[in-house]
Amino acid sequence: MKTKAVIDRFEGDKAVLLVGEEEDKLIVPRASLPSGAKEGQWLQVDVEDDRVQSAIIDKAETAKRIENIEEKLARLRRGDHRKS
Amino acid sequence: MTDINGEMKAAADYAIRSAKDKFGQELDFSDQSTDKLENLLDQAYRSFSNQPKDENTNTAITRTANIWGSYLGEFMRLKWGGTWTLKGSERLVSIKNAEFSPIRFVYKKITSHPEYSVEKYLMVTKSKILPSPVIPKQSQNLSENIKQSKEQSIINQPPKNTKKNKNLVFILLGIGGFVLVIIACITFFAVVLSPSSLQNVSIMEPTEAFAEIPLLQPSLPLTVIIPSDTPSVTPILPDAEPILPRTPTQQINPTTLAPLRIHFIDVGQGDAILIQGSGGEVGLVDGGDTSSGIVQYLQSLGITHLDMIVATHPNADHIGGLVKVLNTIPVDKVVTNGMMHTTLEYEHFLDAIITSKAEYVEVKRGETILLGNLNFDVLSPISNTDDDLNNGSLVLRLVYRKVSFLFTGDTQPAAEEILLASGLDISATILKVAHHGSRSASPLDFLTAVQPEVAIYSAGLGNDYGHPHPETLDALTSVGAIIYGTDVNGTIIVTTDGDGYSIETTKQVQTPTPPIVLPTTEQTSELFINVVSLTSPITPGGTSRLTINTIPGAVCTITVYYKSGASQAAGLGSQTSGENGDVTWSWKVGSRTTPGIWRIVVTTELNGQTISTEIPFEVR
């Protein structure tokens, strides 16, 4: 099944992925990810039975997430959340 | 006064004979013989690991440590000169201006620290007695800088000799994890060290030549009180590893302390540290991952409000649990390093701060985080622009009168080297070891500058990454730190009044180890695998648990095979069965798992013997 996943971190030669909205944690060989894969990048993965069959970097999704997060961070930095 | 050098030589000769007669190994004081010694110690460790804890076992372990330790000591004396000296009940090798306890090293290696290496021990020994052959010049300069800066800020530091004394008293009283790992080997005792084989070597009789090394009994309380101003025992010079004095000289009643309490909480694979100040202030540094149980821990202590949360960096194993905390308990302030992540978990973290209306603060080096009257100096990072989230971890130092703490998150060598070069005081009585004890952190020059008396790492038992790595444990040992880990000790609580400190742990240590078949004994019992329990059937998205029972000390692995192949879910690491032979795995069955009857393959390995079994597992 095709879904989205994000690289939470690398641990040695392994990568920790958080898969889908449920954020299922899968641990995959770093080498099984596309070259140039980085922490924080979103991927399109084909996951079957808790196993990543394929993964490609999803630049658009990554950019969208960054934009979203930056907006929230900006609110926090300005202290907007404490004003209302 | 007996001739101790003569005694020890005789003991080493006995070791040589034993090695040859019982194990077919030639210990001839050559450099190669240390490899053979290493093998013998590994064998002893495996043999002792699976035996009842009783007096006979303790005696056997002590004798074994004496025998092989004598050979190691004689090896050191032949190589570098020196003499044996008796200090209290302990036999030390005194070489030039340093003293070493090879017997204590062997004792630790065969009881609790199989990862210790004879080769490394000798390397460290060499570096202590010869003028710095191992340390690169640059590091030396750095160490000098640090040293100077330490002297300048001496007002914050316990006097050096006090620190040493504390170390001594601490070690003898506690040794938390290490002490509790006293395991036995009747077989080994009978075969190698039986009274009959000792008869013609009277020197090996403990009551005569070898006073017993004080063995701390498992029944001893886990609490250790370390008075810092203990009257000095004869000063002991830097050693390759800690030396145990014989008896406690002073014990503080914990009730007289006005304490700061710091809890290194067992949250599985992740970090979570609770700080309870003497004025009632409460702070939390990291919260483990989403399944950390941190909220329950706080609630069990009656904590209904947090003055502060610090997220050292935004990886899931540090902030996951903080989301639940923020959603459950009122929090005044959240402190971060300002580095962002893109995960949903991080977004949930931000959402939770927004909803909680907690003050949001970002800090970097040079700033101080206040919690009541506690000041946490931020030592790293310099900025929040690092590419690597771990490396950007907040590194905090807390000085509580004479006792100091260093909290390191998952910081990496790149940041650690920058910190070292800064000349800032990074010394700490208690170090929270960086990155779960991973080999990717804590280079030796950094640890040397920190010079911790106690090192605490946080890691999950049987975690997927092999944390803590033996290299890190070795390095910590070589700088003289007593090591605690949440995987083996459970939650570790440090209580301090600013003078001394005490350490409590929630778990008694179990030693994971395969017993080995000694050359002269018959084959031990057959390997077996019994399934104790399994969550099956299970629906996709649920958490499954499997418990098996096998011979204690067996290395057990499971692989869950679904339609498309082996599962990559977290939690399926390899584990060693504990004293009762049980091993439990817990993993999430992904929401995308194809329903059906699948199989779990369990493999156990012991002494080169391997067996496997398949267990049906239903997803529906």
Give the per-residue pLDDT at B204: 28
Give the per-residue pLDDT at A84: 65
Q: pLDDT digits over B94-103, tens only?
A: 888 788 889 9
Question: Smallest Cα–Cα separation from B472: which of B426, B498, B436?
Answer: B436
Give the per-residue pLDDT at B516: 42
* DSSP single-letter state for residue B279: T
> For B277-289, what is the mean pLDDT?
95
**Residue B357 and residue A39: Cβ atoms within 8 Å?**
no
- Cβ-contact A33, A15 below 8 angstroms: yes
| Contact A76/B at CB under 8 A | yes
**Residue A2: closest C-alpha in chain B:** B592
> For B425-445, what is the mean pLDDT?
95
* DSSP single-letter state for residue B437: G
Query: What is the C-alpha R_g of chain B?
Result: 25
Residue A55 pLDDT > 50, yes or no? yes
Supply B335's token pair.
């402190």
**Residue A40 and residue B389: Cβ atoms within 8 Å?**
yes
Instruction: Select, from the ranges B34-38, B425-429, B600-604, the one with the highest average predicted confidence (pLDDT).
Output: B425-429
> For A42-70, what is the mean pLDDT?
94
**Residue A76 and residue B353: Cβ atoms within 8 Å?**
yes
**Residue A84: closest C-alpha in chain B:** B357
What confidence category does residue B479 fall into, taking pLDDT thresholds of 50, 70 and 90?
very high
**Residue A48 and residue B390: Cβ atoms within 8 Å?**
no
**Residue B590 and residue A42: Cβ atoms within 8 Å?**
no
Closest CA–CA distance from residue A4 to any residue of chain B (Å): 11
Instruction: Calculate the alpha carbon distances from B384 to A39, B55, B67, B254, B440 in Å.
Output: 15, 56, 55, 41, 21
Residue B491 pLDDT > 70, yes or no? yes
Q: pLDDT digits over B137-154, tens only?
A: 333 333 333 333 333 332
| Contact B541/A at CB under 8 A | yes
Task: Report which of residues B87 and B75 the model is more confident about.
Answer: B75
| Full DSSP string of B124-181 | HHHHHHTTSSSS-HHHHHHHHHHHHHHHHTGGGS--HHHHHHHHHHHHHH--HHHHT-
**Residue A49 and residue B592: Cβ atoms within 8 Å?**
yes
Which residues of chain B does A25 touch, with a Cβ-Cβ cutoff of 8 Å? Answer: 289, 316, 569-570, 588
Give the per-residue pLDDT at B148: 37
Give the per-residue pLDDT at B409: 97
What confidence category does residue B580 fall into, taking pLDDT thresholds of 50, 70 and 90?
confident
The angle formed by the CA atoms of residues B465, B466 and B469, to the nearest 5 degrees, is 125
Which A-chain residues 30-59 have CB contacts (< 8 A) with chain B?
38-42, 47-53
- Please state which of the ranges B111-120, B175-184, B312-321, B610-619 shows the lowest mean pLDDT: B175-184
Q: pLDDT digits over B120-137, tens only?
A: 888 888 887 766 433 333
Give the per-residue pLDDT at A45: 95
Residues facing residue B599 across a β-bridge: B561, B616
**Residue A15: closest C-alpha in chain B:** B465
* CA B341 – CA B90 distance, rounded (Å): 53
Residue B164 pLDDT > 60, yes or no? no
ipTM score for this prediction: 0.97
Closest CA–CA distance from residue A66 to any residue of chain B (Å): 6
Which residues of chain A does B341 touch, with a Cβ-Cβ cutoff of 8 Å? Answer: 8, 39-40, 69
Residue for token pair 């006979």: B56
Residue B221 pLDDT > 90, yes or no? no
- Cβ-contact B177, B505 below 8 angstroms: yes
User: Does the reported pTM lie above 0.80?
Assistant: no
- Please state which of the ranges B179-183, B357-361, B432-436 shows the lowest mean pLDDT: B179-183
Give the per-residue pLDDT at B258: 54
Residue for token pair 């032979």: B581
Whole-number percent of chain B with pLDDT over 70 = 76
Give the per-residue pLDDT at B508: 67
Residue for token pair 């599962």: B567
Task: Report which of residues B179 and B423 the model is more confident about.
Answer: B423
Which B-chain residues 408-467 have CB contacts (< 8 A) with chain A?
438, 440, 464-466
> For B367-385, what is the mean pLDDT?
94
> For B453-470, what is the mean pLDDT?
94
Q: pLDDT digits over B228-245, tens only?
A: 332 222 222 222 222 222
> For B29-50, what is the mean pLDDT?
86
Chains A, B: CB contacts under 8 A, how many?
A: 139
**Residue B388: closest C-alpha in chain A:** A39
Which residues of chain A does B360 touch, with a Cβ-Cβ cutoff of 8 Å? Answer: 76-77, 79, 81
**Residue A18 and residue B590: Cβ atoms within 8 Å?**
no
| Contact B563/A at CB under 8 A | yes
**Residue A82 and residue B290: Cβ atoms within 8 Å?**
no
Give the per-residue pLDDT at B468: 96
What confidence category does residue B525 fall into, taking pLDDT thresholds of 50, 70 and 90?
low
> For B529-552, what is the mean pLDDT?
89
* Residue among A21, A27, A82 whose CB faces B570 most closely: A27
The mean pLDDT value of chain B amounts to 78
* Residue among A12, A24, A50 whose CB faces B562 most closely: A50
Interface with A, mutate which of B360, B568, B598 (most A CBs under 10 A): B568
Which residues of chain A does B594 touch, with a Cβ-Cβ cutoff of 8 Å? Answer: 48-49
Closest CA–CA distance from residue B435 to any residue of chain A (Å): 10
* CA B398 – CA B378 distance, rounded (Å): 9
The count of residues in chain A is: 84
The count of residues in chain B is: 620
> For B375-387, what is the mean pLDDT?
93
